Amino acid sequence: MISTLKRLLVCLLLTALTAALLPAVRVRAAGISAGEIPLTLTKVFSKNMGGLHTQGFTVTDKYMILSLWKDDDHNTKLYIYDRDTLEPVSGLKSNPVTSYNFKHCNDMSYNSSTEEILVSEGSTQYIDVLDAGTLERKAQIRLDRKYSAYAYNSTEDSYVCLSNVKKDHDNRYAVAFIYASDRKKMLGWFPAPSTLTSQALTVHNGLVYLLEYEAGKKTIYQRTFDASRAGTNTIYVYDMNGDLVKTYFIGRGYGEGEGIAFRGNELLVSFAGSGRAIVCSAGKITDTAAHGGIDIRPQSESSGTGAVYQIINRGDSPVTVSGAEYAPGEVIYQITTGSGGWSSSDRWLPYGSYELRQLSAPSYAGESEMADIFFAITKDGDITDIPV
């Protein structure tokens, strides 16, 4: 991951040079391109909102939150629905939330560790921080630049922010910046080049999902276009190093994609309907950025014999191991060690956060207990050594 200003400037210079050599309009065959994976969506939510248009949205442990606005009234309203039933939530101070003058809410993200919702006002440099339970505003933060999309990565406790670094809004120059949890220290960045209109992003299992729309004509957000793909959406999937892992394609018939979020492992996409709020499901997506494991290493021939451990999913989302899905808090493995300990090198764990819990001590140790150990898989091939 690149983090120095010098290398950033070099990359931007090279990107600008490449862009200058590209034709004004891309020419390629209509429909899906080679390497793109088609997504079939199912409509799970559709509601007449009286002329309001959907913008960003997010899903928390309790709620699905949609932002809507009118073209002639740039004051976003947040509508709160039950995460599972998708019915309006009662008992809040207000629903919809209208009191904070959010301007144009491009994107939203949920920070599960702080129980906060981050609202990105794409037309400004501000992020609004809301309490995820009450939807009351806790703070408003001024960032170093305008970000059109903003997402929290729970496993690495960091934020991924998308910015169009050129003032002409040519998304060919889009860059994803990665910040620490204080939202101030930059950890790195990677270019996310595209000629489409960037809409929203989310982070799931260590991968960045970037939603983009093909307008099919020249706009202030899209200088180059492909008329044959007008009205389609594309989801680019990057790892945290900026390598393009996968590309999903959403064909015509859904409209302009506006928001993207996960409900567990279920991928949801919101669309700007004609006065309707529309959310569609792509079903379960189990892509992962990395696989790794643990080595339980005995310090003597007998020190590891007979101990019983559990490996528990401590992430915010379900993980898929050997074809089975394990929800947060569920036991993935229960193991009994022999004299050589135990290794998960043949039972890989996907990107995420985990706990190793001892149920019973090694046979030699009597009643002694080992403290629970928490570890994370963030890079491919990560192995955590645990001496016992």
> What CATH number should be reported for the domain holding residue 372?
2.60.40.10
Q: Quick one: 104 and 21 in the same domain?
A: yes
Rounded percentage of the chain residues whose pLDDT exceeds 70:
80
Q: Quick one: 171 and 258 in the same domain?
A: yes
Q: Quick one: 362 and 248 in the same domain?
A: no
* Pair type for strands 149-153 and 137-142: unpaired
In this predicted structure, the answer to whether residue 301 has a pLDDT above a threshold of 70 is: no
pLDDT at 97: 84
Please write the tens of the pLDDT for every residue from 129-145.
999 998 898 998 888 77
Q: Quick one: 204 and 343 in the same domain?
A: no
In this predicted structure, the answer to whether residue 15 has a pLDDT above a threshold of 80 is: no
Q: Quick one: 88 and 124 in the same domain?
A: yes
Joined tokens for residue 193? 């080049």
Q: Quick one: 356 and 331 in the same domain?
A: yes
Q: Which of residues 258, 284, 310 is at a domain's end?
A: 284
Q: Quick one: 267 and 303 in the same domain?
A: no
Domain count, the chain: 2
Rounded to an integer, what distance in angstroms lies between the CA atom of residue 252 and that of residue 306? 59
pTM of the model: 0.79
pLDDT at 188: 87
In this predicted structure, the answer to whether residue 330 has a pLDDT above a threshold of 90 is: yes
In this predicted structure, the answer to whether residue 75 has a pLDDT above a threshold of 80 is: no
Q: Which of residues 228, 251, 284 is at a domain's end?
A: 284
Q: Quick one: 236 and 317 in the same domain?
A: no
Q: Residue 228: which domain range?
A: 5-284
Give yes or no for a contact between 262 and 317, defined as CB atoms under 8 angstroms apart.
yes
Q: Quick one: 172 and 24 in the same domain?
A: yes
pLDDT at 6: 46
Rounded percentage of the chain residues whose pLDDT exceeds 90:
28
Joined tokens for residue 296? 């339980």
Q: Quick one: 248 and 273 in the same domain?
A: yes
Please name every residue paired with 250 in a beta bridge, in sequence order, or none if there are none.
Answer: 233
Give the C-alpha distances (Å, rounded to integers) separating 23 from 104, 193, 217, 224: 32, 15, 14, 8
Q: Quick one: 47 and 122 in the same domain?
A: yes
Average pLDDT, stretch 114-142?
86
Average pLDDT, stretch 102-111?
83
Please write the tens of the pLDDT for every residue from 184-217.
888 888 887 677 888 899 999 889 999 999 888 8
Give yes or no for a contact between 137 and 100, defined as CB atoms under 8 angstroms apart.
yes
Average pLDDT, stretch 322-338?
87
In this predicted structure, the answer to whether residue 88 has a pLDDT above a threshold of 60 is: yes
Lowest mean pLDDT among 29-43, 140-154, 256-270, 370-384: 29-43
Average pLDDT, stretch 2-27?
39
3-state secondary structure the chain: CECCHHHHHHHHHHHHHHHHHCCCCCCCCCCCCCCEEECCCEEEEEEECCCCEEEEEEECCCEEEEEEEECCEEEEEEEEEECCCCCECCCCCCCCECCCCCCCEEEEEEECCCCEEEEEECCCCEEEEEECCCCCEEEEEECCCCCCEEEEECCCCEEEEEEECCCCCCHHHEEEEEEECCCCCEEEEEECCCCCEEEEEEEECCEEEEEEECCCCCCCCCCCCCHHHCCCEEEEEEECCCCEEEEEEECCCCCEEEEEEEECCEEEEEEECCCEEEEEEEEECCCCCCEEEEEEECCCCCCCCCCEEEEEECCCCCEEECCEEECCCCEEEEEECECCEEECCCCCEECEEEEEEEEECCHHHCCCCCCCEEEEECCCCCEEEEEC
Average pLDDT, stretch 226-234?
90
Give yes or no for a contact between 115 and 132, defined as CB atoms under 8 angstroms apart.
yes
Q: What is the CATH number of the domain that holds 70?
A: 2.120.10
pLDDT tier at 300, thresholds 50, 70, 90: low
